[in-house]
Amino acid sequence: MAELDDIIHQALRLKIMAALNALPAGSGLEFSRLKKLTGATDGNLGAHIETLSKAGYVGVDKAFVGKKPQTTVTATAAGRGAFARHVATLQEIIAGAAGQH
């Protein structure tokens, strides 16, 4: 059986990856929108995005929209692959438990 991805499995990082993975490939979410969707605080969200970025699972793009800085987070191909494998493993765990009963 495949192993769970320790980086993705953490609750907030799982939410971040799930949210980004729900978008078409190449599309990202603004930091503020991601914060609202996940219910995280600025600091907490920033730290977990940093962890995902270091793992190569997300790309972070910082730009100015007018005079306001805007950070956009996008799932990379590697991140999408890792997330898909993680979800498949979760499903295997459930299927395995159901098979034992």
Partner 1 sequence: MTDIDAREAASALSDIESIVQRVRQSTIYKFASLMLILWGALIFAGNIACEFWPRQGGYIWIAVNILGCAGSLAVGTFESRRGRVRHFDLRVVAAIVLFFAFGILWSVGLGHFTPRQLGAFWPTYFMMFYTVVGLWVGFAFVAIGLGVTVLTVIGYFFSGDAFNLWMAVANGGGLILGGLWMRRS
Q: Which residues bind partner 1 (CB under 8 A)?
A: 3-4, 6, 9, 11, 14-15, 18-19, 21-24, 26-27, 29, 33, 36-38, 87, 90-91, 93-94, 96-98
Distance CA 84, CA 9 (A): 12
Q: How far is the CB of 38 from partner 1 (least distance, A)?
A: 7
Q: How far is the CB of 54 from partner 1 (least distance, A)?
A: 18
The answer to whether the CB of 1 falls within 8 A of the CB of 92 is yes
Q: How far is the CB of 4 from partner 1 (least distance, A)?
A: 4
- Cα distance between the two ends of the chain: 18
Burial 17-52 (b: 16+ CB within 10 A, else e): bbbbeeeeeeebbebeebbeebebeeeebeebbebb
- 30: its two tokens: 């603004």
Q: How far is the CB of 74 from partner 1 (least distance, A)?
A: 10
